[in-house]
Amino acid sequence: MKKAWLTARSLVLWAVSGVHFAVIGTSLVFLGLLIDPRNNDRPQRIFFRNILRVAGAKFEVRRAKGFDPRRTSIFICNHVNIFDPFVIYSAIPQFVRGFELESHFKLPIYGWMMGWFGNVAVPDSPTREGLKIMTQRAKAALDSGVSLIAFAEGSRTRDGHVREFKKGIFNLAQQFGVPIVPMSIVGSYEFFRTGHWMLHPGKITVYLHDTIDTSRVGRGEVDALRRRVHAIVAEPVEESMKKHQKHHKG
């Protein structure tokens, strides 16, 4: 009976949230043609938060005392599922844009939104020239006061755990001397798992950890920085998974 209820619930939520996304998302794309995205940030945030609400997810943000919302930064977080962009834009109290694979910009509605909103394209098949262009775009965004978000794992988790972070984004942070904010998305894996379609009732909690200054990080310290940020991001995720598993065993 419970499975039947969850199935019916998921079907309804997908239908409602899909219609909501298509209608409002398309409207925001056209609005973006007329208004600078920086002057149109509030309706975008309301839209992203509503996507989570309509999909049935409760939402909470926890900020560490050492998190500085005024500094243009690179936010680095775990990659869970297709709801991550909506979670991120709902949680970060800054004008923020992300790195997206070039192929994602070709997707209807979502890709159009990412393009018009100024996200940074990442080559699907990295070349020296492509990476150079991506670096220039990232630098231009940061110099103009736009914070960036990066999924350092490179792909979505399949088991809920935070996989090893790739080094590239940390090289950029060190090269530019831009602060890093570790960011943990907790509970989203239990809400919706990549590879499945069921939406489970649950709560997504985002942890914005202390801002890490990189202005004095040397090139030889980048790997240590990568491991440090990974440990910070993974800690609340792993702790939540242990509690979830213990609850179900009990």
Enclosing domain of residue 35: 2-249
- Look at the chain and report how many structural domains it folds into: 1
Beta bridge partners of 181: 75
Mean pLDDT across the chain, nearest whole number? Answer: 88
Q: How many CA within 13 A on the CB side of residue 68?
A: 12
Give the Cα separation of 212 and 141 in Å (integer): 19
Mean pLDDT of 106-128: 73
Give the Cα separation of 70 and 67 in Å (integer): 9
Q: What is the pTM of this model?
A: 0.90
Question: How large is the C-alpha radius of gyration of the chain?
Answer: 18
CATH number of the domain encompassing residue 134: 3.40.1130
Q: How many CB atoms lie within 10 A of CB 30?
A: 11
CA 213 to each of CA 102, 140, 180, 230: distance values in angstroms, whole numbers, following the listed order: 30, 20, 7, 16
Q: Is 226 helix (H, G, I), strand (E, B) or coil?
A: helix
Window from 3-7, 24-28, 146-150, 184-188 with minimum mean pLDDT: 24-28
